[in-house]
Structure 1
C-alpha cells in the first residue's frame, strides 16, 4: 500500500489548487478526479477573474476585497491565460441611479491595491464605438477593469504544477471509499488501488456533501457528518460576434441580476449567466444542461441593450455548470460566493472540507487550506504561491504582455500560420516555443497537429476529443462536424 501525506478528492480548480500548494510545501500528495480535470463546474464559469462588482450591493466588502487582491496576483501568475478586460456598464437610470454606480465603482477601484489595471471612469456612449452596438436610448455609461481567464486551462496548469512538484494526479479514477482511522485514512480508488493518507481533503465541489454521505466512514463506522449546500445552475450561450471592439459589457436586469456579454474566441460573444436553484436534496447532475427558459431569459435580457436582438435561433453553443453555494437563505443570486474551509481532526485523522468558493479566490483558498492542514499535521510550512508563476506564465522580458510574447514567437516561426501561433502562445505561454519547434506531424484538423495532440495526451491528461476540443481548447467552436470527427478518429486510432 502506498502512503501519502494528503489525498485530495476532486480535480476542479479548488482541488488542483490545493494539490499544487501542498506539493510545493513538500507534502506527498495524491489527487484523484473521477472524470476529466475541470469537466464540470470549473469549465462552466463566466471565465472572469473579478472582484464581483454586484457583491458590493449585499455588503460583501471582505469577499470583494479578497477577490480584488487575488485578481492582481493571478494576472501576474499566468498572463498567457489571464488578461485584463475592460467592462462597459450602460446606465439604465430606472434600475440604479448614477450616483450609486459612481460610489460602487470608487469602492471597487480602492478596496485593494491596483497596479496592472486602469481605474473606472464615466463614458459617453453616443457616437462612440462602445455605444454603437447598443440601443440608442443608452447614451451614457461607465467603464471599469477586471480580468478574463481560460478557466479549464487554469485547472490543468495547477495540476501540471502539482505533478511537477511531486504530486500524483489521477484522472478518471474516483475515490470510492475513505475510512477514517485514528492516525490515517484508508482510501480505495475506482481502479482497486488502496492507499493510506495522513489527511483527506474533500474538494468535490457540488458533490462534496454527497461524497461525505456515500463514500466516507468515520472511526465509529458511521458516515461523516456533512452540511447543506445550495446547488445553483449557471448557464451561458454563445452567439456570433455582436461587437468588434475588445471591451465586454455588463447589463443590469429589471430583476436585480446582471449578465455579461463578453468577446469570445475572436468570432463570438459569450452571454451569461443564469441562477437556477436545483431542488433541495437533489444530487447534482453528472452533465448539467441549459433549459429553454434559460436561453429565452439570456436572449431577452441581452436584447434589452443590444441593437441587434439576440434570438434563441442565434445560439451556436451553450454550456451549464452547477455551483455549490453555502446555504445562508435568501435568493440564489444573493447567496455568498465566498468559501468555507472546515477542518476537523477530533474524530481521527485530519479532514478538510471545502465548501463553496469562486474561481478568482481559488489560490487564496488553497493557501489557507494548506496552512490549516499543516497545523493539523503538526508541521506548519510557509506559503509560497503568491509570487510564483504557473507553468508557462514566465514570459521573460515580456512580463505580462502576451501580445508582445506572441509577436516575438511569430518572428521565430514565420512558417506557421499567425492564428495558430497566437492560439498556441495564449494556451501554453513560455512553453509554446517547444511545441512550435517540434516536428508537427499530420494536420488532424485546421491548425491542430499531431505533435500538439500528443502533448495534450502525455502532459495534460487528455483522453478523448471532448477533452481537447471543449476544455483544453475551444477549437470545437471553430471546427465543422467533420473536423471534430477527425480529432475523435485520431483518438480512436490510438
Structure 2
C-alpha cells in the first residue's frame, strides 16, 4: 500500500490530537513541530503540498531589507534571526547570496543612504552574513557588466539567503519530517465539513483523487489554509480580530542573464520606485516580483504583467538583444496573504506595499481552533513553534521541544555520504557544463535517503542516468519520488517535487521521449491516464 493510502487509512474513523488543514509552509511546519513534540497529528490539503501560495515565492530567505523603509525594526530583527537559524539548520539548502542593488534615477535613495541602511541591516541581523559594500557607478560596471550603468548613481551590495531548490521542495521537507515523527499526512484530501461536538471536532473528509469520503475527529484544528483562512473560519462560525487581503506577485523565468561565475541577485527600483529582482535559478534567471492589489487569490500572468517586467529589465540591463515574450521559459503567479485588522481601514488609502508581511496567530479557546494569518518562508520555524505553544494552551500535552523536527542530518552523516559517493565516483556520471556535482544535488534534496540512491545506482548503473535530458533528473530519483513523495499527479513531480516545469520549456517537456518513462515509473498502470491529464493541462495553458 502506498504511503498516501496508508495515511488515509489511518485517518478513517480515527482520532487525533490535531488536524492541520492546509499544507503550505504554515501547515507543514505546524504538523512537523507538533508531531515532533509527541502530538498525534493529521495533515491534509485539498491539492498538493505547497501547491498554491508556497509554490509562487521568490525562493528567497531574507530578513526584509525593504521593510526598514517603513521602520518595521522588530519585524526585520525577527526575520533576520529566523534567516540565520535556517542558514544554520539547512546549510546545503539555504545559502547566503549577495544582493547587488543598483541606485539609478528611479531609486528613492542615494547610494550613501542605502549603504547606511545596508550596514544597519547587517547589524540588525547580528552580523550573521558578510558585510555590505558600496560601489560607485564606475566600479559597478566592472563588478557586473550586464548592468546598464548609464543612469546609475552607484550601488550597494548586501547579503541575504536563497533556496537552492524550489520553494515547494522546501515545504515538502517539513512534510517528510512530520511523517517521520508519526503524523498521518495526505495531499488531495479536502475538508468537506466540520462541526464541534463536545470536546472535539468531527471532520468529514474527501479523497479528491478517488472520491471516497470518511470521518476523522480531532481535539484541535489548525487553520493553515493560507489565502483561504477567512473562508474556513466563516464556515465554522468563527470571528477573528484579523483578516487576509491579497497582493499579487508574478515572476518570469528566462535564460540566465548573469554569469554563473558570480551567483548573485540583482536588485533594481522600477519606474514606480518598487524593488524587483533578477534571481539566479541554475541555468535560468527569475525576474520579479510585481506587487498588485487583487481581490481574488486565483491569479495568472497577463500580457500587461509581462510587458511591464520586460520593459523594466530591458531598460536596466545591457543585453545583446532585448528580452521578448519568446524568451520566457516559464511563469509564476500567486498572492501574498497580507494581514490586516478587522474593523479598521480597508487599506484603500495607504501605500499597498507598506502593508506588513508579518504573520499573526489567533486562538479560539472555546472552539479549539488555531488560525495562522500571513507568514513567510523565512519565518517558518517561528510559526511552527508559536502554533505548538497555542495548541499546548488548548490542553494538548506536548513533549519538550528538542528542535529535532527541522534541519538537515548531522555533519557526520553528510561526511559519510560524500565518502561513499567519492568511492563510487558518482560525480563522474555526468559531464554537462554549468551543472552542479551530483553529490551536492542528491544530498541536498534527499538527505539520509540519498544513501538509498547510491545503493540503487550500485545495483543498476542505469539508475544513474538522466531520464529527460535537459531536466537533469536521475532514474533513481524517480523511483524514490514514486515510493516516498506522495506524487498523485504528474504536475506534482514536474512542478513541486522537482523544478523541471520551471526551467524547461513546455514544448521541450512534451516533446521529450523520456516523459512517458517518467510517468511509467511514477504511476505504473495509471501512467497513461496521468500523462494524458498533464498534457491536457499544458495544452490548455498554452
Q: Does the TM-score normalized on the shorter chain lie above 0.5?
A: yes
Please identify, of 55-64 and 304-313, the stretch whose mean Cα deviation from structure 2 is larger.
304-313
Question: Paired residue for 1:290, among 283, 289, 301?
Answer: 301
Report the Cα offset of residue 398 of structure 1.
Answer: 6.5
- Report the Cα distance in structure 2 between the residues aligned to 1:431 and 1:119, rounded to whole angstroms: 36
Tell me whether 1:251 sits opposite 2:272 in the alignment: no
CA distance in 1 between counterparts of 2:15 and 2:80 reads 38
Provide the residue aligned with 1:464 in structure 2: 489
Whether the 8 Å CA contact 1:125–1:131 is kept in 2: the answer is: no
Q: Which moved more, 1:474-483 or 1:14-23?
A: 474-483
> Offset of 1:421 from its aligned partner?
4.1
Please say if 1:352 is aligned against 2:370. yes
In angstroms, what is the RMSD of aligned CA positions?
2.5
Shift of 1:492: 5.3
* 2:349 corresponds to 1:332: no
Gaps of 5+ in 1: 217-222
User: Counterpart of 1:228 in 2: which secondary structure?
Assistant: strand
Alignment correspondent of 1:394? 410
CA contact (8 A) 2:101 2:267 kept: yes
1:79-118 → structure 2 map (5 Å cutoff): 79-92=91-104, 95=107, 96-115=109-128, 117-118=129-130
| Cα separation, partners in 2 of 1:448 and 1:253, compared to 1, 3 Å | closer
CA-to-aligned-CA distance 1:340-373 (integer Å, 9 cap, x gap): 1000113x3x100111111100110110111111
* 1:197 pairs with one of 218, 221, 245: 218
* Distance apart, 1:125 and its partner CA: 5.4
Q: Please list the CA deviations of residues 408-439 of structure 1 after superposition, one character each: whole Å capped at 9, or x if unmatched.
A: 83554345226544432332244323213314
> Distance in 2 between the 1:93 and 1:13 partners?
37
**Aligned match of 1:212 in 214, 228, 233?**
233
Q: Which secondary structure state, in structure 2, belongs to the residue aligned with residue 30 of structure 1?
A: strand
TM-score norm. by structure 1 comes to 0.89
Residue 60 of structure 2, aligned match among 48, 53, 58: 48
- 1-structure distance, mates of 2:249, 2:273: 16
Give the structure 1 partner of residue 362 of structure 2.
342
Q: Which residue is 1:144 aligned to?
A: 158
Between 459-468 and 53-62, report the one with greater CA deviation. Answer: 459-468
Distance 1:85 1:251, change over 3 A: same
Distance change in 2, residues 1:394/1:473 (3 Å):
farther
- What does 1:265-414 align with in structure 2 at a 5 Å threshold? 265=282, 267-279=283-295, 282=296, 284-285=297-298, 288-308=299-319, 309-327=322-340, 329=347, 330-346=350-366, 348=367, 350-377=368-395, 379=397, 381-385=399-403, 389-390=406-407, 392-396=408-412, 409-410=421-422, 412-414=424-426
What secondary structure does 1:79 align onto? Answer: coil
Structure 1, 32-41 or 318-327: larger mean CA deviation:
318-327
Per the alignment, residue 436 of structure 1 pairs with 454
Q: Aligned pair in 2 of structure 1 residues 407, 84: CA closer, same or farther (>3 Å)?
A: farther
- Select 1:154's aligned residue among 143, 166, 170: 170
Instruction: Show CA shifts across 1:259-316 (max 9, x none).
Output: 1101112x1111111122223xx4x32xx32111111121122223211233333211
Query: In the alignment, does 2:248 pair up with 1:233?
Result: yes
CA distance in 2, matches of 1:317, 1:407: 37
Distance 1:37 1:48 in 2: 19
Distance (whole Å) between structure 2 residues aligned to residue 388 and residue 129 of structure 1: 45
Equivalent in 87, 97, 112 of residue 75 of structure 1: 87
For 1:459 and 1:144, locate their aligned partners in 2 and report how far apart those are by CA, in whole Å: 39
Partner Cα distance (1:326, 1:472) in 2: 29
The TM-score with structure 2 as length reference comes to 0.81
Aligned to 1:260: 277
Q: 2:10 aligns to what?
A: none
Q: Are the equivalent residues in 1 in contact too, given 2:247–2:294 (CA < 8 A)? A: yes
Contact 2:482 2:522 in 1 (8 A): no
What secondary structure sits across from 1:259 in the alignment? strand
Q: 1:125 to 1:466 in 2, by over 3 A?
A: farther
Q: 2:323, 2:417 → 1: CA distance?
A: 36
| 1:418-476 Cα shifts (integer Å, max 9, x gaps) | 65444323322443232133145565323434432121122111123221221111123
Structure showing the higher helix proportion among its residues = 2
SS at match of 2:511: helix
* Residue in 2 that maps onto 1:219: none
2:175 is paired with a residue of what secondary structure?
A: helix
1:172/1:247 CA distance change after superposition, 3 Å: same
Q: Secondary structure at the match of 1:85?
A: strand
Shift of 1:91: 2.1
For structure 2, list consecutive stretches of 5 or more residues without a partner in the other structure: 1-12, 207-211, 342-346, 526-542
Aligned residues: 472
Residues 79 and 393, structure 1, Cα contact 8 Å, conserved in 2: no
